[in-house]
Amino acid sequence: MKDYIALATKGYYEWWRYLVGAFLIFIIWQIGTIPFVAAVMYKIATDGGDFSNVGNYETLMGTLDSNLTFFLMLLSFVIGLFGLWLIVRFFHNQKFKDLLTTRKKFDWKRVFFGFSIVGFFITVMTIIDYNINPDDYLWNLKWDQFFILAIIGIVMVPLQTSFEELYFRGYFMQGLGVIFKNRWLPLLVTSVGFGLLHLGNPEVGKVGNVIMVSYIGTGFLLGIMALMDEGLELSIGYHAGNNLITALLVTADWTAFQTESILLYTAEPSIGLDVLTPVLVIYPIYLLIMAKVYKWKNWKSKLFGKVELPDNEL
């Protein structure tokens, strides 16, 4: 079967299963935040601090060691990933591979390609900007802290991003596709939903709602990758590369990930072209490169066509 969405029909795919399953996965994911909140509360208690601001983002991010904070933040996604596996495997009776790809085996080369293309771009653009605007950066490299960050990042970030890809571009994409029997609605809903997931990020408070263009645009980019390539390998690799390289290379005091990165960005964030250029220029270039490498064809049918279900439809 070469239709990625239709792979859902190899398991139980009644609409109510996706409604219940999505809710259960979300609950398990949120349960995964308990260690982080508990650690923050314990630290505040031992320091004799005030619990009234424990729900404040700055309090959550600033109470613990930055590497411990980074680890505990990512841990919730790892627990969410385990919950997603449980639901897919035992509630839908679907092979987990069928949530990943239409190929006989998961294609790690595609993962590394997706990782490399965005990792290379972020690194090059950061180096260029650092040389053009050196006053906007502080050199922050502390080898002992960076080494711990690197270990945490290399292990945990791919799990975090894989959960997001499997939840949105996998579980929701397949579920909506087999329920509504088309491809455009899952692409639209999962892309907007992915953007709205980041609505609580500190970047939104700092820059404004205009940055949602970037988040939703990224959702469309990753969704198009999944539908055109009939699998999640490219989007998993891209998402991991984007988050990991950013976490290791540069951070700011207004970003979701505040890490012991090599550089600290100290300038005020700007809006306008900095938000629109990646979505309108860079993202299409990524897709054109991938289309050339993997010989994507039939864009209209793959992005807007119908989902053909087997005759034994439930």
59-96 pLDDT, tens digit each: 666 678 899 999 999 999 999 999 999 999 999 999 99
29 in a domain, yes or no?
Answer: yes
Determine, yes or no, domain membership for 248: yes
Q: pLDDT band for position 312 (50/70/90)? A: low
Within a domain: 314: no
Q: Return the minimum-mean-pLDDT range out of 42-46, 121-125, 143-147, 174-178.
A: 42-46
Domain count, the chain: 1
Q: Which two tokens stand for residue 128?
A: 């260029």
**pLDDT single digits (tens) 201-259:** 878 877 778 888 999 999 999 999 999 999 999 999 999 999 999 999 999 887 877 89
Task: Report whether pLDDT(53) > 90.
Answer: no
Rounded Cα distance between 295 and 297, Å, is 6
The verdict on residue 313 lying in a domain is: no
For the question of whether the overall pTM of this predicted structure is more than 0.85, the answer is yes
- pLDDT at 311 exceeding the cut of 70: no
Does 311 reside within a domain? no
Is 163 part of a structural domain of the chain? yes
Return the structure tokens found at 56.
């404040």
The answer as to whether 310 is a domain residue is no
Range of the domain at 283: 5-304
Is residue 313 scored above 70 in pLDDT?
A: no
277 in a structural domain: yes
**pLDDT-above-90 percentage for the chain:** 75
pLDDT tens by residue, 122-136:
999 999 999 999 999
DSSP for residue 4? T
Q: Determine the distance from the C-alpha atom of residue 1 to the mean position of all C-alpha atoms in its chain, rounded to a whole number.
A: 26
Which one has a higher pLDDT value, 103 or 37? 103
Q: Is the dihedral of CA 233, 239, 242, 248 positive or negative?
A: negative
What pLDDT is stored for residue 188 in this prediction? 97
pLDDT of residue 57: 63
